[in-house]
Amino acid sequence: MKEMPITHRGVVYPWQCDHVGHMNVMWFVGKFDEATWNLFALVGMTAAYLAREYRGMAAVEQHLRYRRELRAGDVLVVRSGVIEVKEKALKFYHEMREALSEEIAATAVLTAVHIDTDLRRACPIPPEIRAQAETFLLDETPPG
C-alpha cells in the first residue's frame, strides 16, 4: 500500500485507560475523529471552507478493528488514506500504530456524506475537493 500521510500523533494518558489498564475504546474513536478532520483539511474541506459555504460532513458508517492494546505512555501515530470518492461522499481509512514498535493497534473505515448545513441534506462535493481527495486514493484495499 502506498505511503499514507500522518493525520494524528498522540500519546495514551493514564486517564484514558479503563479498568483493565488499556486505552478505552472511546479514546480510539476520538483519536480517529481527530485524524478525520486532519484528512478533510488535506483534501480542502477546512473549517473555513465548511463555515463559508455552509457545508458539513456527516459520518454515516464506521467500522473499527482493534488489533493491539495500547497502554498509558504509549505513543501512537495515525495515517490515513481515501478508499473511494463519490459525488456526495468520501470513504476513507485510518491506521493507528504504536509508534515505537510500528504494530497496528487499530484500523477504521468510515464513510462521510457532504451536507448542506442549511438544508440538512446531502449535496455534491465540489470538483476541486473531489480531485484533491483522489490524490489520497489508496492503490489497494486496506488490510482489515
- Tens-digit pLDDT profile for residues 11-37: 999 999 999 999 999 999 999 999 999
Q: Which among 13, 4, 112, 97 has a CA at the least distance from the CA of 57?
A: 112
Give residues with Cβ within 8 angstroms of 14, minimum separation 6: 72
CB atoms near residue 139 (< 10 Å): 7
When computed from its CA atoms, the radius of gyration of the chain, rounded to whole angstroms, is 16
* CATH architecture, domain 6-134: Roll (3.10)
pLDDT at 120: 96
**Vertex 4, ends 110 and 45: CA angle to 5°?**
55
The reported pLDDT for the residue numbered 142 is 80
- Tens-place pLDDT, residues 35-58: 999 999 999 999 999 999 999 999
Q: What is the mean pLDDT of residues 108-122?
A: 97
Tell me what pLDDT residue 1 has. 67
Sorted by where each begins, the domain ranges of the chain are: 6-134
Q: Which amino acid is at 66?
A: Y
